[in-house]
Amino acid sequence: LCFRDVRLRGQTGVPAERRGSYPFIDFRLLNNTTHSGEIGTKKKVKRLLSFQRYFHASRLLRGIIPQAPLHLLDEDYLGQARHMLSKVGMWDFDIFLFDRLTNGNSLVTLLCHLFNTHGLIHHFKLDMVTLHRFLVMVQEDYHGQNPYHNAVHAADVTQAMHCYLKEPKLASFLTPLDIMLGLLAAAAHDVDHPGVNQPFLIKTNHHLANLYQNMSVLENHHWRSTIGMLRESRLLAHLPKEMTQDIEQQLGSLILATDINRQNEFLTRLKTHLHNKDLRLEDAHDRHFMLQIALKCADICNPCRIWEMSKQWSERVCEEFYRQGDLEQKFELEISPLCNQQKDSIPSIQIGFMTYIVEPLFREWARFTGNSSLSENMLSHLAHNKAQWKSLLSKQHRRKGSTDHGGPGTEKEEQTVAEGDAP
């Protein structure tokens, strides 16, 4: 499996309109056709209908209300999606619903909107069509068949990042470059994720594990893939060379920070800064560190969402673990921690993840934000969700106990999770 290469091979030499369902060139033609009101042959009409949502979406994202909507079917959905975008900074934003309303284009739609509202298109003189093309590349490089590490997770992390960038303790210091880096890193941080973890790539001698010498293998790949797409799309080609080099480096440092194996390193640094009260957000270096922390929080914020959404994410991530376990079993490899559907239940995985990974990070984040209302809200969801999983776990044990008379094993199970590899 060479995730990036497959994409390039698959697309080279294929006309734009056949590569996927995103007709970049055609959508400009479409615009003209619609304005002049000339819808010639049946073939043209067919093309028009199949591309309608992109036509509407592109106008919507530039803040232009469609003058004469030709296609009423999609209008309801886009109207609802547009309404949702007006509340994109709310913590209860339902990314699953937004993904359905945008017909699976949540990442592209969200990013275009955020780039616009943060004034990044204007500030960096970005070309809207190129930005759209780049974002479609990113979105399509996520694997839709992954239950968890797909473009909806990326959109969810980006939406959380947007909320964190608005935190009063941080927002006033952020430059347009910081905001662009934060949003881009969030959108691309898991791009081309294969749905298996680093230990799996190492034990199967995957060439990426070899290439990155078993160190942050996936994160390095996400970063280098992002750089590849940035260069290929020429989104930043008009900026000074030193600036694009800096952007590429900073994106790397942000994406690499999401490696969960480096959790303690970052947590210790954050605790020390907060204890010494020596964070100087006027300095680019300290702002970059807080962007790394914000991205890490955004990446693992699922347990801090409302229960209905949090639960869905938990089921998805466990499904991905179990699929890896099935694969390992099939190839007679040792089943990785948390990947054994028979032994590792969703509630026990989640309780361990919350206790050892999520709670310690979000406690410090809350301290940094001065216990902002968002932080308090997240911690309260976290406590509530953990209680929910605990109650489900004890129900499971009662059920199990009534069949095999085994006692509860919460402590032991939590320990296993702490040693395992979190999402």
- CA–CA distance, 372 with 363 (Å, rounded to integer): 12
Q: To the nearest whole angstrom, how small is the minimum distance from the Cβ of residue 154 to Zn ion? A: 7
Closest residue by Cα to residue 165 from 154, 156, 174: 174
By CB under 5 A, residue 299 contacts Zn ion = yes
Q: What angle do CA 102, 106, 110 make, to 5 degrees?
A: 110
Q: Examine the residue annotation and report whether 193 is marked as an active-site residue of this protein.
A: no
Q: To the nearest whole angstrom, how small is the minimum distance from the Cβ of residue 220 to Zn ion? A: 14
| 190 vs 364, beta carbon nearer Zn ion | 190
Phi, psi of 393 (to 5 degrees): -65, -45
Q: To the nearest whole angstrom, how small is the minimum distance from the Cβ of residue 101 to Zn ion? A: 23
Provide the terminal-to-terminal Cα distance of the chain, rounded to the nearest Å. Answer: 21
- CA–CA distance, 316 with 21 (Å, rounded to integer): 26
Residue 275 near residue 202, CB atoms below 8 Å: no
Sole window of 1-9, 176-184, 186-194, 285-293 interacting with Zn ion (rule: CB under 5 A):
186-194
| 80 vs 312, beta carbon nearer Zn ion | 312
- CA–CA distance, 63 with 343 (Å, rounded to integer): 51
Per the annotation, where are the binding residues for AMP? 149-153, 190, 299, 350
Sole window of 24-32, 103-111, 291-299, 367-375 interacting with Zn ion (rule: CB under 5 A):
291-299
Active-site entry in 56, 149, 193, 206: 149
Q: To the nearest whole angstrom, how small is the minimum distance from the Cβ of residue 23 to Zn ion? A: 30
Residue of 190, 192, 328, 413 interacting with Zn ion (CB under 5 A): 190
Max Cα distance, the chain (Å): 76
- Measured CA to CA in angstroms, residue 386 lies from 237, 272, 342, 354, 390 at distances of 47, 27, 22, 7, 6
| 259 vs 299, beta carbon nearer Zn ion | 299
The DSSP element (H or E) to which 351 belongs, if any, is helix 346-353
Per the annotation, where are the binding residues? 149-153, 189-190, 299, 350
Q: To the nearest whole angstrom, how small is the minimum distance from the Cβ of residue 340 to Zn ion? A: 22
| 81 vs 152, beta carbon nearer Zn ion | 152
Q: To the nearest whole angstrom, how small is the minimum distance from the Cβ of residue 298 to Zn ion? A: 9
Sole window of 185-193, 260-268, 271-279, 326-334 interacting with Zn ion (rule: CB under 5 A):
185-193
| 59 vs 149, beta carbon nearer Zn ion | 149
- CA–CA distance, 149 with 159 (Å, rounded to integer): 16
Sole window of 46-54, 62-70, 100-108, 184-192 interacting with Zn ion (rule: CB under 5 A):
184-192
Closest residue by Cα to residue 336 from 346, 350, 348, 321: 321
- CA–CA distance, 202 with 261 (Å, rounded to integer): 15
Q: How many chain residues interact with Zn ion (CB under 5 A)?
A: 2
Per the annotation, where are the binding residues for Zn(2+)? 153, 189-190, 299
- CA–CA distance, 102 with 74 (Å, rounded to integer): 9
| 236 vs 291, beta carbon nearer Zn ion | 291
| 48 vs 251, beta carbon nearer Zn ion | 251
Stated length of the chain: 423
Report which residue type is found at 111: L
- Measured CA to CA in angstroms, residue 325 lies from 196, 197, 338, 350 at distances of 9, 11, 8, 17
Q: To the nearest whole angstrom, how small is the minimum distance from the Cβ of residue 313 to Zn ion? A: 11
Sole window of 106-114, 219-227, 235-243, 299-307 interacting with Zn ion (rule: CB under 5 A):
299-307
Q: Which of residues 309-328 bind Zn ion (CB under 5 A)?
A: none
Residues binding Zn ion (CB under 5 A): 190, 299
**Residues belonging to the active site:** 149
